[in-house]
A and B are shown apart, each in its own frame.
Chain A
Amino acid sequence: MIYSNPEFLILLIPTALLFLLLNSYSLRFYLLLISSLLFYAWAGIFDTIVFVSVILFSWLSLWAAHKWPLYKKLFVTVGISIMTLHLFFWKYTPWLTEQLQFIFPNLNGGKKLELPLPIGISFFTLQGIGYLVDYAKGKASFISLKEFAFFKSFFPQLVAGPIIRMRQILPQMQVLEKPQADQILDGIALFCFGFFKKIMIADSCAYFVDTVFANPIVYGRGTLFLALMGFTVQVWGDFSGYTTMGRGAGKILGIELPENFLSPYLASSPSEFWRRWHITLSEWIRDYIHIPLRGRSRSELRALAVLALTMVISGLWHGANWTFMICGLIHGLLLVVERLLLSWKTLQSRLEGWSYLVKKIFNIVLLQSCIIFAWLIFRADSFYVIKIFISNFLSGAKDQIVTPPSGHVYLSIFLCYLIQIIFYTQLKSGKYVFIENLKNKFEHLKTSRPLLMGLFWGGLLSTLFALSLVFRYANTSQRFIYFKF
């Protein structure tokens, strides 16, 4: 079920209304659980069977670990292995078979192995593994099957994140308070804003980007660059749009989900980028891969190797393809370079005499160039596409055929950076850098003229939503990019 399709609202609105009407906690709990399973069942019976089996098997290992504490680690390991193996089987076996066929051409009768990939598999597997690890370390408590099922299946975060931790959802799940009007309004606002990002930014670029990437050889430098920029904003609009809509849906149902994007394209260092981009995944990888791999070693070499390896694993998590792995490696190397320079600040200090703003812009542009290049690797279906992109770009080739209309792409790029500038926040304080005063004024007006401001805010949100609807019809909404991960 895609958030930007009407069937999602057909599920969300009745669920939210019933949730408000029901007074019993259990009824509210089961309502959300059933809606969540219904949401996933929309993907198909096969996906649902896999999903439910994963929930059952991983909970059974948790139950066994709880029942026989002596063998806690063993059962938790079994649970983690089941989830890792099933992720590996569905996601990586076809690719691995293809690679092995270079050595053993008759493997699988020489045919390409095709397996259906259950939707959102990477997200709910990571979430489950995270919980089991926390349980083994004593950071999370044992929960019943129904609570576990709720944790894994809560639909506003189910298919493409944010990847929630048990500690974030358990306190809310055990209360399931009815949302107040303010919370519902915030949810609506987030949902509309996410929808706007998905339709006006991501989908507006999709045709142009897909067309150029499908046949890059016939396009010249300018078109290729525009397509690459288009994909850069598309992937942000798509993924952050999805998680914003999910957070909005969660809020409407009274559950807070963590923020996942904080103006990542305005980051001025690679590590800052990962503190702003897909934050919940970055944190998951840090806690469950990077820290365990690094261990207590103080070796700088090991630290650098682990950093690069972690990012390669992160790249591979996105999909079974060499391009994803290399994209991860590029990000890993960027982090390594940053670390080698002790900190990005060292680089800044070498630019003595430059004003703070100039240095900041220089850093952002430098990092953006690297990220845009990494997106090329990420988006390309094969090395051939990357090669064509680079060679056509360097040779200054010109378009050989009529280029697809690109007006929307310029608008999307503008909107993407404008939104990130407007909502740019300081990581430590969480305060908006540019609109904090405006926000305070708005809060003041909300108190002094609540009715007028309410009508104004409702009008603004509905305009945003209606505008996105109009463009959605014109563009035809695309599937979310991260659904395939």
Chain B
Amino acid sequence: MSSIFAKAAIISFIINISVFIVISQIKPNTPQNDSNTVNIENIKTSGLWWLYPALHETTGRTIRLQERPDLFHAAFAGYPITLLYDEQLWNKYFKFTFDFDLRMPASTQMNDPFLMMSWLGNLEILKKYGADTLIFGSSEAHRELMPDLFSKSISTLNNYKKFLFLTRFGMLQESVTKMALIVKEIKKTQEKKKLDSVVVGYSFWWADFQETAEIQEQNILLKNYFEQHGHLKWLYYNGPTLFNVPTWGDIAKIRYLLFIRPRPRSPPPIKGKLIKDLGDNGYLLFKDDVNQIAEMAKYTPPYSSALQGQKLRGCTQESIYNAKKRYKQMLIALNEIAEKIYIYLTPVTPLHSDHAHPCLRDYVKKMLVESASTNIKIKVSEWEDYGLTWQDFVFDGNTPETMRLDPNHTNRSGAEKVTKAISHWIKLGGRQ
């Protein structure tokens, strides 16, 4: 009898787990948005691009890039117009996730527009059309560098032509390293074996970022990319020091964060205070208080939806060791693909940088400066050195009387300051 029990239980277990795995592979239906919002993935399937005002991702509008060459030249500075009409390439491009945005030239319809783009899709452009300068980094890099202004400022030097952003929201240092390996493989097939330069916006939180769903997600994206491109497969599976083995996450792609974890509601702003905006990154404040931010910030604990303290370690031997190890791996990989490497510490407000222990921040600066050489140029200026103020991190709020302070992304005026400073620094050959 007990044998019948055991066999029934084993069969039931196997069937249930198989059903679970099959169900977990089905892409969940994203709930329909209301009339004011549009889902970026749905737009993408129609081959349309998504343009939206700063910090208001869901209230933008669709565009056809072929009808807006001005945006094309801003987003893909230096690339020939033939790219814009390369249907075959865009068919491929639109199959990738759109996971980063670039600041576009202002227009009468939108003061500070962003164009949603694809991280891995840009690799397809690199494959077919090459590049002279690649820009790596997380949102601090792609939101603070204005592509059109950046390319215009630098293009006075003859050797900078095609600029391509390989950035992503929350891009990790490990992902830069892996991307560099992919670029190396791609460059092998091209006439020009090395890029002129790479520009890396080093986010201080890279120093000792702990394993999280973000790492998992980026690993999966890169792993899938490798697997879709046969000639890169070998590299993926033979780079044990750089790549993780497939995880359960690959088997059970459950969107836990999306479906189980509730998105918190933001509390109402309070006069004279910076209030954590739990729904999105940053703080809420009253417009009248905008000139008092420096004072208010003194009494406000650091906060970021991405770095709620739990993912960044303090200043321990281990964190310092990790910072050094990760940075070294990245430098080795970047050295293989570019003649010159420009690395700058992305300027953020203390409300963001205070997530890390002061001693770790000091160590990171020292580590970056010490790595400088003839081909590696380093810029570790503080945010004030860029001429940035608190007002450069403030955006319109959801209501006319409120504003939002984003502690690690500048607004348009701040981005102009950063872009000018970085391009000036590069023009000077990386001398501070």
A469:B252 contact, CB within 8 angstroms: yes
A478:B211 contact, CB within 8 angstroms: yes
Complex Cα–Cα for A470 and B310 (A): 21
Complex Cα–Cα for A215 and B12 (A): 47
B216:A401 contact, CB within 8 angstroms: no
Comparing A82-90, A177-185, A263-271, A427-435, the segment that makes contact with chain B is A177-185
A470:B5 contact, CB within 8 angstroms: no
Comparing A280-288, A346-354, A416-424, A445-453, the segment that makes contact with chain B is A445-453
Query: Given contacts A447-B2, A473-B248, is CB(A455)–CB(B12) below 8 Å?
Result: yes
Is B157 close to A, CB under 8 A? no
B16:A476 contact, CB within 8 angstroms: no
Complex Cα–Cα for A446 and B8 (A): 11
Interface residues contributed by chain A, number (CB under 8 Å): 49
Is B4 close to A, CB under 8 A? yes
A7:B13 contact, CB within 8 angstroms: no
User: Digit string of B339-369 for contact with A (CB within 8 Å is 1, else 0)?
Assistant: 0000000000000001101000000000000
B-side contacts of A154, CB under 8 Å: none
Which of B3, B12, B20, B317 is A381 in contact with, Cβ under 8 Å? B317
Is B429 close to A, CB under 8 A? no
B253:A181 contact, CB within 8 angstroms: no
B310:A454 contact, CB within 8 angstroms: no
Is A459 close to B, CB under 8 A? yes
In the complex, the chain A residue whose C-beta lies closest to that of B255 is A473
Comparing B59-67, B74-82, B300-308, B374-382, the segment that makes contact with chain A is B300-308
User: Digit string of B4-43 for contact with A (CB within 8 Å is 1, else 0)?
Assistant: 1111111111011100100000000000000000000000
In the complex, the chain B residue whose C-beta lies closest to that of A216 is B314
Complex Cα–Cα for A140 and B314 (A): 51
B6:A476 contact, CB within 8 angstroms: no
Is B213 close to A, CB under 8 A? yes
Is B309 close to A, CB under 8 A? yes
Query: Given contacts A6-B250, A446-B2, A446-B5, is CB(A402)–CB(B316) below 8 Å?
Result: no
Query: Given contacts A181-B10, A214-B314, A381-B317, is CB(A404)–CB(B309) below 8 Å?
Result: yes
Which of A5, A381, A404, A450 is B248 in contact with, Cβ under 8 Å? A5
Complex Cα–Cα for A459 and B8 (A): 10
Complex Cα–Cα for A360 and B261 (A): 39
Is A222 close to B, CB under 8 A? no
B3:A181 contact, CB within 8 angstroms: yes
A6:B6 contact, CB within 8 angstroms: no
Which of A182, A211, A465 is B311 in contact with, Cβ under 8 Å? A211
A-side contacts of B16, CB under 8 Å: 458-459, 462-463, 466
Interface centre among A400, A455, A472, A476 (most CB of B within 10 A): A476
A476:B10 contact, CB within 8 angstroms: no
In the complex, the chain A residue whose C-beta lies closest to that of B214 is A476
Please list 15 pairs of residues, one from A and one from B, whose beta carbons are closer than 8 Å in the complex, sorted by A's number. Answer: A185-B5, A185-B9, A185-B10, A188-B13, A211-B313, A450-B4, A455-B8, A457-B12, A458-B13, A459-B12, A465-B13, A473-B248, A474-B213, A476-B212, A477-B247
Chain A residues with a Cβ under 8 A of chain B? 4-7, 180-182, 184-185, 188, 207-208, 210-211, 214-215, 217-218, 381, 400-405, 446-447, 450-451, 453-455, 457-459, 461-463, 465-466, 469-474, 476-478
